[in-house]
Amino acid sequence: MGFHASDMGDKSSKSGTSLSSNLSTSEQASGQVLIASLARNLPSGPGVYRMMGTSPDDGSGGHVLYVGKAKNLKKRVLSYTKPGKLSPRIQRMVSQTRGMEFVTTHTESEALLLEANLIKKLSPRYNILLRDDKSFPEIVVEKSHDFPRVLKHRGARNIKGSYFGPFASTWAVNETITTLQRAFLLRTCSDAVYSSRTRPCLLYQIKRCSGPCVGKINKRDYSLLVDQATEFLKGKSREIQKSLASEMQKASDGQEFEQAAQFRDRIKALTRIQGHQDINPGSVLDADVVALSQDDGKSDSRGGRSCVQVFFFRGGRNFGNRAFYPAHTAGETPAAVLEAFMGQFYSTHTPPGEVLLSHNLDSTATAAVMASALSVRAEKKVSIKVPSRGDRARLVAHATENARGALARKKSENETHEQLLAGLALTLGLDQSLARIEVYDNSHVSGTNQVGVMIVTGPEGFVRGAYRKFNIKGAIAPGDDYAMMREVLSRRFTRAMKNQQSIDDGTVKDKDTNSTKKWDLPDLVVIDGGKGQLSVAMDVFADLGIEGVALCAISKGPDRNAGREQIHIAGKTKPLVLNERDPILYFLQRIRDEAHRFAIGTHRKKRSKSLTASGIDDIPGVGPSRKKALLQHFGSSSGVKEAGLSDLEDVKGISNATAKRIYDWFHQDN
């Protein structure tokens, strides 16, 4: 059940993100009066609320300032009407509130999960935000085949089988899969390759596969290997080692020395991965260790800084760790940061049975709600602990020390990066600070598979989530770099101007908030090229009426000599040549090379895709599942092309209308 409520009086939005308490009495009072009027009709049960910055005439809601949860919605919302108990930051948020939306839930745990999902979707200004939410790789042992394979997997769990992880890096997954091949001889080839084999592959020859594709092992023995691999991934490696040692001794006693040597090699493989653990978790089997190190941020204009280190232990082994840097304002408590982090992190990652924290949450009740929510997510009981002694305390201390070191390195990197940004602005003669720099480059081979890319950097370094790819769509002569750059810039900044117009008109929907933020106008645009590319960019900006965005292009120097690059600045006739050891030049080279790397990688992926494309890829209404059904039925795209209408209708999942569409696609001339 959910409902929407908003103030239909003042439709204006208060701008600015200052967190000072220098607010007028009327500003505070208007927000408090609105909130008090809405709170009168609220239920006293659990739910989620959204505080909106604007309220358009269509009643669709506006920019989301904050998303919160409550055990008692009415009591929680009423707390915002008592300014004496609010921090300056919250007072500012209340003054900007022009509407609220509410969703009631059955339990506080449901409210916590919903809050995390909304924060990730809407990125509200006043919430603590987890910016890095990429999925982690896992290992899956398939169950849908008579001879299951073991493979690396990332994303939704749509493969039938047993999943193990997460692993902190792809390297850790590859290392474990290699060990599984050596120790348990499981296949890793695809089902298509498996079914087409007529003789053993190289992996069989080097003793990393048992050769089920050509009958070198029967189903019962292979199933035993699968069971052993599964038990190993669950942490029962010692028992498996003892079993293999017994089998090796039995083979040796029977003078089957070649078989005994195979068992010996498998035992070595198991010992090898056990010896590669960075820290021995002792009695801890399946747990996530979540440790926080925090800086108060008093000397930082952007607020506080925190680093959260997450160590993954599965089956008694260390699967690696990952550092996160949640964005928040100064003054946030460790408990608040950890609670926000866990809610958002575990909304997309399945928690283990035990989560070990470096700090207590706000209260025992908060910890109980979080544990209940994680149990719902994991579909099993999850406990949350702050250990004070033993193996668990040692693991938390180790993770905390890593968090402290990572935060110190991050601060040092950011300070250096900020100095470079300030130096670049001074070098280019700019008055404004550089919070967002976009770099553009193109890539193609003899005019084929043409792509353009945009990378973004700022005070925090490269913002990879804001990178964009542009497939060149216009009728452009092969290899015309100027026309490619014109199309890329026109598409990017036309989108930006439309979003800006939506904000100015007050017609942007809250579901578009993330999209609008990602297409904000930059402070500086850097083009990989010379005077020609810079002239194209200036023409695009003039056509679209874009002002206040600095432009420059960086080209290779004489004989394309690195270190003698020429910087062409919009509005200046002579290019700027920096000293070859100037840190600003190194910085420009680095961001240009990053754009070049991203462009080449994008082009190669497009080229590889075009090499494997079939004739049915572009048929409207034929997606991956229907394409797979057609190829499995007819064997190839040429078989689909030559099929009759009745044959197409016989394919499972292909309706009569879709069959007619496919047939007409290949017989348009008729």
Residue that wins the pLDDT comparison between 13 and 342 = 342
DSSP assignment string, 275-331: TT-SS--TT--SEEEEEEEEE--TT-TT--EEEEEEEEEETTEEEEEEEE--B--TT
Query: How many residues appear in the chain?
Result: 670
Residue 476 has pLDDT above 90, yes or no: no
DSSP assignment string, 74-141: HHHHHGGG-GGGS-HHHHHHHHH--EEEEEE-SSHHHHHHHHHHHHHHH--TTS-B----PPPPEEEE
Cα 523 off chain centre by = 25
64 strand-pairing partners: 52
Output the CA–CA distances (angstroms, integers) from residue 619 to 210, 367, 408, 641, 664, in the order listed: 41, 52, 53, 11, 10
Residue 10 has pLDDT above 70, yes or no: no
pLDDT at 282: 60
Which residues 6+ apart lie within 8 Å of 511 measured at CB?
none
pLDDT at 35: 86
Range 242-269 average pLDDT: 72
- Is the distance from CB of 100 to CB of 52 less than 8 angstroms? yes
pLDDT at 21: 37
Residue 439 has pLDDT above 50, yes or no: yes
Residue 663 has pLDDT above 90, yes or no: no
- Is the distance from CB of 63 to CB of 93 less than 8 angstroms? no
Range 86-115 average pLDDT: 82
553 strand-pairing partners: 527, 568
- CA–CA separation, 181 vs 589, rounded Å? 43
The residue whose two tokens read 């979707």 is 121
Cα 126 off chain centre by = 21
Cα 538 off chain centre by = 34
pLDDT digits (tens, 9 = 90+) for 327-353: 777 778 889 889 888 888 888 788 888
Q: How many CB atoms lie within 10 A of CB 318?
A: 20
- CA–CA separation, 564 vs 362, rounded Å? 57
- Is the distance from CB of 452 to CB of 619 less than 8 angstroms? no
pLDDT digits (tens, 9 = 90+) for 543-596: 998 888 999 999 886 655 566 788 999 988 888 988 888 889 989 988 998 999
Instruction: Classify each residue of 251-284 as buried b or exposed e, where b means 16 or more C-beta atoms within 10 Å of its C-beta.
Output: beeeeeeeebebbbebbebbeebeeeeeeebeeb
Range 81-90 average pLDDT: 81
Residue 273 has pLDDT above 80, yes or no: no
pLDDT at 426: 92
Residue 13 has pLDDT above 90, yes or no: no
Question: Hey, what are 428's tokens?
Answer: 């280019």
pLDDT at 3: 46
Residue 647 has pLDDT above 60, yes or no: yes
Taking each helix axis from N to C end, the angle separating 237-253 and 257-274, rounded to the nearest 10 degrees, works out to: 160
Helix H or strand E segment including 567? strand 566-569
Residue 1 has pLDDT above 50, yes or no: no
pLDDT digits (tens, 9 = 90+) for 176-229: 788 777 778 888 888 778 888 888 888 888 878 888 888 888 888 888 888 888
pLDDT at 437: 94
pLDDT digits (tens, 9 = 90+) for 41-58: 788 888 889 888 864 333
Half-sphere exposure of 34 (CA within 13 A, CB side): 27
pLDDT at 441: 92
pLDDT at 525: 94
Range 386-395 contact pairs with CB under 8 angstroms and sequence separation of 24 or more: 386/356, 386/357, 386/358, 386/359, 386/360, 387/356, 390/282, 390/283, 391/281, 391/282, 391/283, 391/284, 392/284, 392/287, 392/356, 394/282, 395/279, 395/281, 395/284, 395/287, 395/289, 395/311, 395/313, 395/356
236 pLDDT tier (thresholds 50, 70, 90): low
- CA–CA separation, 94 vs 463, rounded Å? 30
Domains of the chain: 2-122 (3.40.1440.10), 287-411 (3.30.420), 437-610 (3.30.420.340), 624-666 (no CATH)
DSSP character at residue 169:
S
- CA–CA separation, 567 vs 555, rounded Å? 7
Identify how many contiguous H helices and E strands the chain contains and give both numbers: 21, 19
> What dihedral do alpha carbons 561, 562, 564, 567 form, nearest 10°?
120
Residue that wins the pLDDT comparison between 456 and 297 = 456
11 pLDDT tier (thresholds 50, 70, 90): very low
pLDDT digits (tens, 9 = 90+) for 139-178: 888 888 888 888 888 877 778 888 887 776 777 778 778 8
Quote the mean pLDDT of the chain. 79
